[in-house]
Amino acid sequence: MSGGRLELEASLPLRDFTLEVSLAVAPGERLALMGRSGAGKTSILRIAAGLMGPRSGRVSLGRETWLDTGAGIDLPPERRRCGLLFQEYALFAAMSAWRNVAYALRGRRGDQRRRAVGLLERFGIGHLGEAMPADLSGGERQRVALARALAAEPRALLLDEPLAALDPATREGAGRELDALLAAMEIPVVIVTHSAAEASRLADRTAVIEQGRLTATG
Amino acid sequence: MRLRSPFGLLSALALALAVAFFVLPIVAIFADVSPARLVAALGEESAREALWLSLRTTAIAMAIVLVLGTPAAYLLGRRRFRGRAILITAIELPLVVPPAVAGIGLLAAFGPHGILGGAVHGAGAELVFETAGVVVALTFVSAPFYLRQAITAFGALDRRPLEAARTLGAGPFRAFATVALPTAREGLASGLALAWGRALGEFGATLLFAGSLPGVTQTAPLAIFAEFSRPGGFVAALALSAVLISVAAALLLATKLLGGVGSVGTEGAR
């Protein structure tokens, strides 16, 4: 998996302030976006993934433009191949774990199943392929969601509070595993978190966002 | 709420009265018709014809309601836009319009001298005194029951799984068909059951718009009224009513089962 540099510039009026951000993440680099809830972190991920349109802005990956409000370009989410791990994982409740993962796969059904179970095995939950999301623990759901996001072979990966839905006992181990997984990625990775400890553990670089503006990076 | 409190007792009494009021007329029909009479009623050509017409026309009306109503309800359930409330009110209008008025309205719109009468005739279609007219009347009166439920069911969906589908490469239609539909299935099935029940019982709009021609537009409720109006026809009307209740109950059950089986817990439940 390799991708170009993810660049984003956006201006979007939110309820209490206007989001004004500009950021760039290189392939293989991990950027943590840190800030309080309501600071605009998730909106940045949604703009990058194409789930929300800014009033004005530009999003590109390498030489490919995903959004350019000036030029009237706005690729829909399904054409951006930008992986997004939702905070509560957003698994498809009516599908088993392997079908969740296979959703992003193409090809013959038997082949899809083999590849989906293979991905689940990579996350140590190959035996849970037939389980429904409601029957999985928080940690298991997170792994299914990660396997699903990676099945789509994303060119950039965005994670919205990836550890927030886990109980403290699971969080420690899941954080370690996630760190190892992200370290091996060759695509731009953006992690939204409200925890400084999580940011320093999972990312190479941290940007702080307050009231819709990036105030510090380091 | 404690059942032994005065209010608890009053509520229980109200519930008992309501259930008795709803169930008694249904029980009375079956109490008045012996099983032998029921079978004999089904053996009559006119009764079978009316029942078959009812099943056919309601099935076609439900197919139209599902195919056109489901995407329309999805749009209204998922999007917020100016004029949405007005559109929903327009869709709900047939719920409060008396069936006879609905029949008159359909005549004024699609009848031979109606606003679109010429266009309907020009397209080679005839609705008045034709089976197609029955389908139009049934669709008009029953669709809002499905649409209301479907709008609510789609509106209650968690947006995140739908968005996740898009980021995984699914276009809007695939996300709708593979994520929204299965998740909203229970609500859609219950709306369909209500609409189908309403269509099976439809009387006034069908009578005024399509008439009551045996074998062509005389559905089961119209046949019941025809028997009832005939001297000595009360028993035949009762028997046909019992059959219609059985069919409606079976359809209601089947539709609910179809929507309920395999339904899953809500997203994020733990």
DSSP line for A36-66: -TTSSHHHHHHHHHTSS--SEEEEEETTEEE
Kindly report, residue by residue over A52-64, the tens digit of the pLDDT. 999 999 999 999 9
The answer to whether position B266 is within a domain reads no
Determine the average pLDDT of the residues in B248-270. 62
Residues of A in contact with B167 (CB under 8 A): 49-51, 77-78, 80, 82-84, 149, 152
Judge: A76–B166 Cβ closer than 8 Å, yes or no: yes
The answer to whether position A21 is within a domain reads yes
Sheet holding A205-210, edge to edge: A73-74, A64-68, A56-61, A6-13, A18-25, A213-217, A205-210, A30-34, A189-193, A156-160, A82-85
CATH code for the domain of A61: 3.40.50.300
Tell me, yes or no, whether A25 and A123 share the same domain: no
Tell me, yes or no, whether A148 and A187 share the same domain: no
Q: How many domains does chain B have?
A: 1
Whether B163 contacts chain A with CB within 8 A: yes
Whether B179 contacts chain A with CB within 8 A: yes
Cα–Cα distance measured from residue B27 to residue A155, given in angstroms and rounded to the nearest whole number: 65
Take residue B266 and report the two structure tokens written for it: 């809500």
Tell me, yes or no, whether A133 and A144 share the same domain: yes
The answer to whether position A130 is within a domain reads yes
The answer to whether position B39 is within a domain reads no
Residue listed under structure tokens 């439940």: B269
Inter-chain CB pairs, A–B, below 8 Å: 83
Whether A149 contacts chain B with CB within 8 A: yes
Nearest to A93 among B163, B178, B265 (CB): B265
Which of the four pLDDT bands, split at 50, 70 and 90, describes residue A3?
A: low
Judge: A94–B165 Cβ closer than 8 Å, yes or no: no
Q: How far is B256 from chain A (nearest CA, A)?
A: 17
pTM confidence score: 0.85
Which residue of A103, A119, A142 is the best one to mutate when testing the B interface, meaning the one whose CB has the most B CBs within 10 A?
A103
Whether A110 contacts chain B with CB within 8 A: no
Compute the Cα dihedral for B116, B121, B126, B128 and give only its sign: positive
Residues of B in contact with A48 (CB under 8 A): none
Tell me, yes or no, whether A60 and A166 share the same domain: yes
Report ipTM (2 d.p.). Answer: 0.92
CATH code for the domain of B162: 1.10.3720.10
Determine the average pLDDT of the residues in B69-92. 95
Determine the average pLDDT of the residues in A131-144. 93
Tell me, yes or no, whether A14 and A69 share the same domain: yes
The answer to whether position B243 is within a domain reads yes
Tell me, yes or no, whether A147 and A158 share the same domain: no
Interface of B with A in 141-160 (CB under 8 A): 158, 160
Which range has the worst mean pLDDT, A33-37, A86-90, A167-171, B223-227?
Answer: A167-171
B40 vs A85: which has the higher pLDDT? A85
The answer to whether position A88 is within a domain reads no
Averaged pLDDT score across all residues of chain B: 90
Residues 6+ apart with CB under 8 A from A9: A21, A22, A57, A58, A59
The answer to whether position B14 is within a domain reads no
State yes or no: pLDDT of B262 exceeds 50: no
Nearest to A90 among B164, B169, B266 (CB): B164
Q: What domain range includes position B76? A: 46-260
Q: How far is A108 from chain B (nearest CA, A)?
A: 17
Residue B239's pLDDT is: 86
Take residue B238 and report the two structure tokens written for it: 């009762």
Tell me, yes or no, whether A74 and A112 share the same domain: no
The answer to whether position A31 is within a domain reads yes
Which range has the worst mean pLDDT, A29-33, A93-97, B118-122, B137-141?
Answer: B118-122
Judge: A50–B267 Cβ closer than 8 Å, yes or no: no
Q: What domain range includes position A107? A: 94-152
The answer to whether position B15 is within a domain reads no
Determine the average pLDDT of the residues in B159-175. 96
Nearest to A86 among B160, B264, B270 (CB): B160
At residue A40's C-alpha, the angle toward residues A34 and A45, to 5°, is 80
Residues of B in contact with A91 (CB under 8 A): 161, 164, 267
Residue B265's pLDDT is: 35
Tell me, yes or no, whether A114 and A202 share the same domain: no
Residue B1's pLDDT is: 64
Residues 6+ apart with CB under 8 A from B144: B91, B92, B93, B94, B95
Whether B112 contacts chain A with CB within 8 A: no
Interface of A with B in 154-193 (CB under 8 A): none
Cα–Cα distance measured from residue B35 to residue B194, given in angstroms and rounded to the nearest whole number: 28
Kindly report, residue by residue over B92-103, the tens digit of the pLDDT. 999 999 999 999
Tell me, yes or no, whether A163 and A73 share the same domain: yes
The answer to whether position B169 is within a domain reads yes
A192 vs A108: which has the higher pLDDT? A192
Is the CB of residue B99 less than 8 Å from the CB of residue B203? yes
Cα–Cα distance measured from residue B121 to residue B127, given in angstroms and rounded to the nearest whole number: 9
The answer to whether position B20 is within a domain reads no
Tell me, yes or no, whether A125 and A18 share the same domain: no
Which of the four pLDDT bands, split at 50, 70 and 90, describes residue A123?
A: confident
Residue B98's pLDDT is: 94
The answer to whether position B130 is within a domain reads yes
The answer to whether position A49 is within a domain reads yes
Q: How far is B202 from chain A (nearest CA, A)?
A: 36
Residues 6+ apart with CB under 8 A from A124: A143
State yes or no: pLDDT of B3 exceeds 80: no
